[in-house]
Amino acid sequence: MDLYNRTSEIAKLYVKKQLRSLHLHDGNDFPNHVTFFRQLWQKVNSIGGTISNATFRSILLGSLSALLDSIVIMLYATTLSIDVLIQLNVHWTQVSRCERKNVNSATSPTMLQANKPKYIVCANQWL
């Protein structure tokens, strides 16, 4: 990324592309997603490829799973990224609390981990 202590435009574009292509998929770890997202934002800004607070917020909300659409819709009215992060973390806390009650302690909760439907097997027995 650094060539003779100068940051190239290509490096800025590359990190911006990384940031815009990051997506949270169902079952992924939400805190890790946010941490990596913020690291990329800081990296972009540190090399001079400025991304505004509003743009960061939009990219972050766009990176979330479709299962979060009902929450995302409400968060678009929020103007500060920090407020969006706080509200998403509150949601994460609620989800993880529910998940901890339903899984053993050896597993860690993930964002909106899809519960697979339990199929009932019906067997007709002829006597």
Q: Enumerate residue ranges in the chain where pLDDT < 50.
A: 1, 105, 113-127
How many structural domains are present in the chain? 1
pLDDT at 67: 78
What the block records as the tokens of 40 is 């990329």
In a domain, 41, yes or no: yes
Q: Residue 69 burial (CB < 10 Å; 0-12/13-18/19+)?
A: exposed
The residue to which tokens 């607070």 are assigned: 53
Asked if 87 and 78 count as a contact pair (C-beta separation under 8 A), the reply is: yes
pLDDT at 34: 86
pLDDT at 114: 47
In a domain, 124, yes or no: no
In a domain, 32, yes or no: yes
In a domain, 81, yes or no: yes
In a domain, 15, yes or no: yes
Strand 6-7 relative to strand 2-3, pairing: antiparallel
In a domain, 74, yes or no: yes
What the block records as the tokens of 11 is 């490096």
pLDDT in tens, 37-73: 888 888 888 888 888 888 888 888 888 888 778 888 8
DSSP letter for 85, please: H
| Range of the structural domain that residue 26 is part of | 2-102
The CA distance from 88 to 110, in Å, is: 13
Q: What is the pTM of this model?
A: 0.63
Helix H or strand E segment including 6: strand 6-7
The residue to which tokens 């027995």 are assigned: 125
